[in-house]
Structure 1
């Protein structure tokens, strides 16, 4: 590793005009000496607009502070890093930040001045030992986000129960995506987040069920921890701007799925479309299994009769829901009711 690092360093030393001209940089499997990461990325790469780091850090449990008021960086992607925390003190042009798979239990991010940050993606399959963190505290300082995606990859929820505390951070939110919710988990808890963001126009839920992972979970004796969020006391909100509800891997056999969709339909006065869909990208590992186990959530409804029955059940006794389009979107077809 040291030899390869010297090779890379020798290359850039031999061609000193390259770094100042870079607009896009992807780095893999690098451990920077303390101080070098900021010097190389922000002092040398003055034109850098897109930075992707995978398996990169400045030491186990280290904190990387970014204070670059003159930087033009617009996109920052971090994957599989042993950083304990990334502190974005100042990145005035940053518009999109994505962090996938952090290794520590505390909040992986801290924001200072990020006036242009519009999109945030947080993806992690947390193990059971992680206690979770406050999303409102993590987002403190990032109040102009309009697209937020949280993906739990079928594991434990790594955010603490909150609702009203998130209103400041969610004040500009237009699209809220909650992905990777284990198939047996309740979905109603997500409405806590929706109630904190009345400006949301698209609410996107994705259920997670992968039989290919079941044997591995059994081998390490993983037991899913269901959400501890209180789900009682939801009220209809005339201020909700919600226009579209998307549920991926929807299954009518799961009573919680039906209940969740009905609850949102009943409380969103501006709702126009409900999209119930099958995953567009089937898992290759699941398909490769010799005998695919029976899915807990059952199969996505594909016949028109099944779909029509479900659409009617969702509309039964719903006030003002008759005008809502219910769309079934499978890999092979799109049917509208």
Structure 2
């Protein structure tokens, strides 16, 4: 894909994907890759050479991690010497991506990329690359203007601790990467952190927070097994005061341990927006009330119940594998029972439940939240959504008739009235 106009637009995107559209994946060879890169280099040179007196507000370049791709970097370097480019984004992909990228491929890509001097980058996405801890430190040191770093399917070594230091970085995304943990040593400008599926051993937290004074948004997603450490927020969220917390349980085990307000209160005292995604329908919901008890400033609470595990181990898998998954991904929530006597909350304005059903568990939970939230203004009860990857759609007992909806509406109004007394 090539976007932009030499005359009218100050934003240019050059994407290597548009250059190999004519090839089938099974027929795409290394020679084809070299030819595609050569074509992209010509296009990059042509686009950046024209009207060089006009400044660019954004230049985004997406390319493969092969030796030939260095020519693209040189084109950009030459262009920046002769024209003003306000923001530069690099997205670097291997020829083989995601789960199909073997450890050998990752090592090759890591050797090819090396720690390059990308001193003008504002956004950097690295995917399926094996880098040493020192290499990653060098990348951060050279990219001194970097604002947004995205790491996906990268291999830093199972026992390695990924240490992060950067003065300008505001957004960090760490998805499906292999390392023991991530240590945020000094990130004074970091505002948002995403950690999606971690491999931390059972005795370690996936992240440690040393100096992140501006961190306000934390997004965590994991398919927790019986071997993962259950996270106590009072021990995990040390040195941070987040205002937005987004937890995705991927329809597997609940990996957060409920805590009393005395323990969880200090780390959740600034929390205003809470999302609890993909809670398996076998799990009870009352345990989530500990957030209301510990977060007095909470304004909006989103709870999603979902009956769909990973697309990778559904009906087509062998029986033995399914039984192993059931053992490893135990969803038993007996340990998540929670006392909530006389709970009152004065800041909560919105409650949204996605995947609501006419069942005792949902009715009881909704009532408890509505009665506790004295100043509640909005309650939204939504049906399941279909899976965007496999079109799975759960059969539900969602209230569909006007009579059912009328009954629930009146129940909520009644609970709200009794709760405010």
| TM interval, short-chain normalised | 0.7 to 0.9
What is the aligned-residue RMSD (CA, Å)? 2.8
Structure-2 change in CA distance of 1:217 and 1:100 (3 Å): farther
Give yes or no for the alignment of 1:30 onto 2:30: no
- CA separation of 1:30/1:132 partners in 2, compared to 1, >3 Å: closer, same or farther? same
Give the 5 Å matches for 1:122-201: 122-143=220-241, 145-164=242-261, 165-201=263-299
Q: 1:101 aligns with which of 190, 197, 200?
A: 197
Instruction: Name 2:349's counterpart in structure 1.
Output: 243
1:130-175 CA-to-partner distances (Å, cap 9, x unmatched) read 24122221110111x1110111011011122313211111111110
Match of 1:7 in 2: 67
**TM-score normalised to structure 2 length:** 0.67
Alpha-carbon distance, 1:103 to partner: 1.7
Higher relative contact order (CA 8 A, sep 6+): 1
- Distance in 1 of aligned mates of 2:68 and 2:155: 17
Distance in 2, Cα, partners of 1:203 & 1:163: 19
Distance, in Å, in 2 between the alignment partners of 1:8 and 1:167 is: 54
Does 2:175 correspond to 1:79?
yes
The structure whose Rg is larger is 2
Higher strand share: 1
Q: TM-score, normalised by structure 1?
A: 0.83
Which residue of 1 is the match for residue 401 of structure 2? 303
- Specify whether residues 317 and 99 from structure 1 end up closer, same or farther in structure 2 by C-alpha distance, changes over 3 A only: closer
Task: Please report how far the alpha carbon of residue 184 of structure 1 lies from its aligned counterpart in structure 2 after TM superposition.
Answer: 1.8
In the alignment, is the contact (CA less than 8 A) between 1:161 and 1:228 conserved in 2? no
* 1:37-52 matched pairs, under 5 angstroms: 37-40=136-139, 42-52=140-150
Q: Give structure 2 stretches of 5+ with no counterpart.
A: 1-63, 78-116
CA gap 1:319/1:102 in 2 versus in 1, 3 angstroms: same
How many residues align structurally? 309
**CA distance, structure 1, for counterparts of residue 68 and residue 133 of structure 2:** 17
Q: Distance in 2 between matches of 1:182 and 1:97?
A: 24
**Equivalent residue for 1:229?**
336
CA distance in 1, matches of 2:404, 2:72: 62
